[in-house]
Amino acid sequence: MEPVAAQSHPIALRPVAAGQATELAHLLRDGRVLAGEVLQTLADGSVLLGIGRHRVPADTHLRLDPGHRFLFQVEAAGEQFLLRILGPGGTDGAAFWRYLRAVIGLDRPLGELMHELAARVRAELGRPGQGLEALQRLLSGLERAVALPRGGAELRALLARSGVLYESALCAAVGRAVSPEVLDELGRDLKGELLRALSDLPDGPLKEAVSRALSGLEAEQLLNLARAHSGEAQVLSLPLPDGEGWTTARLLVPPRRDGERRRETGEGDAEEPLRLVLGVSFSRTGPLRAELVSTRAALGVRILATRPELVARLRRDADALASALGRGGREVRVTVAEASLAEVEVGSRLVDIPLLCDNHVMDVSG
């Protein structure tokens, strides 16, 4: 068998039971990029793949070992599905860059995309017609994804079902007995809701709007893949309510490889600080940036804003904020500073990623 880098040969899915085939057809749209995992190599040379919650046998000339995770693009050939592995290396690497180029222009703020879609759904609900149940489910899913979290647990839950981590959650579910509760939670994921709406809605402007929103979400996922390859911080987007509309908060999570290596080798006893950057712009505050450095013993928060009156208000409230963030006796220090728009904004150059620049995916200097 050829090594996995030699990607000129696609993986051919074998026929599955009728019920599973229908579900796979909804998931495996021609041209879609998804994640998969090799669950098992079989005696006849075929493999068993995990795609979402599905276990699918497939034929391939590539050498794929159990546990190998990969990104693939779907190619529909009649009633058969072919999966072409994508990646920066290998003979099919050009397909990876073509897909990135196709989605680069679709990476609009998640809050903006979902607010536009919700407005279209509400307008459609006001007209007589069919499919009201599908429309109401989609609207409920969109509104559930937009909330001001009250505490870390709610923030974690919102990020988990924001759609950006959908395939990761599906792959994690493949390897264990999936309970009805887990399936329900996956079904409430924003991307899961969009995929369901895409299969339930009839052709027309609303279905096209769902497809655009889904493409914008997948653009974020592909850009995060490029960031991971370059060792850059991951960007997790979260839609938030903002007056009559929705805005987008962006959380930058840098890789922690150095700290992980020290823990694995036992070198030194210093704890690696966790560094996060959160950026959001509300209509009443303008852009805000919060830089957090956290250890078990202390938390440092630096807040930047562009409006002098807001900076003064935040400075007056800094002690109260530090008290609210304190936990288990941990020392908390909050500082506030005025800064320029360029210093405050998070996400103004989201596509300025070394992997994209080095491979001429796009010009990020213009």
Cβ-Cβ contacts under 8 Å for 158 (sequence gap 6 or more): 145, 147, 149, 238
Query: Is pLDDT at 157 greater than 60 in this prediction?
Result: yes
Region 30-55 average pLDDT:
80
> Using an 8 Å Cβ cutoff, are 300 and 318 in contact?
no
Residue 79 scores a pLDDT above 80: no
- Report the alpha-carbon distance of residue 335 to residue 232 in Å, rounded: 26
Q: What is the pLDDT of residue 317?
A: 95
Max mean pLDDT among 17-21, 44-48, 167-171, 313-317 falls in 313-317
Lowest-confidence region among 2-11, 103-112, 114-123, 344-353: 2-11
Instruction: Evaluate if residue 355 carries a pLDDT over 80.
Output: no
Provide the pLDDT confidence category of residue 88 given band limits of 50, 70 and 90: very low
Closest of 143, 156, 343, 139 to residue 236, by C-alpha:
156
How far apart are the C-alpha atoms of 288 and 285, rounded to whole Å? 7
pLDDT digits (tens, 9 = 90+) for 201-229: 888 888 888 888 888 888 888 777 777 76
Closest by CA position to 32, among listed 62, 68, 76:
76
| CA distances for 298 relative to 224, 252, 316, 322, angstroms | 29, 20, 21, 11
Query: What pLDDT is recorded for position 189?
Result: 84
Residue 97 tokens, joined: 């860059």
**Lowest mean pLDDT: which of 62-66, 186-190, 351-355?**
351-355
Name which of 119, 108, 142 is nearest 240 in CA terms: 142
Q: What is the rounded distance in angstroms from the CA atom of residue 65 to the CA atom of residue 37?
A: 9
Q: What is the pLDDT of residues 134-154, one digit of tens each?
A: 899 899 989 888 888 887 788
Q: What share of the chain is helix, strand, coil (3-state, %, to 5)?
A: 40, 25, 35
Query: How many residues appear in the chain?
Result: 366
Listed in order, strand segments (DSSP E) in 153-216 are: none
Count of CB atoms situated within 10 Å of the CB of 227: 23
Angle CA 352–358–362, to nearest 5: 55
- Integer Cα distance of 251 and 192 in angstroms: 22
Q: Which residue has the tokens 């903002």?
A: 242
As given in the structure block, the two tokens for residue 191 are: 């991307």
pTM of the model: 0.65
- Alpha carbon 14 to its chain centroid, in Å, reads 29
- Residues 325 and 300 sit within 8 Å (Cβ to Cβ): no
* DSSP-derived 3-state class of residue 297: coil
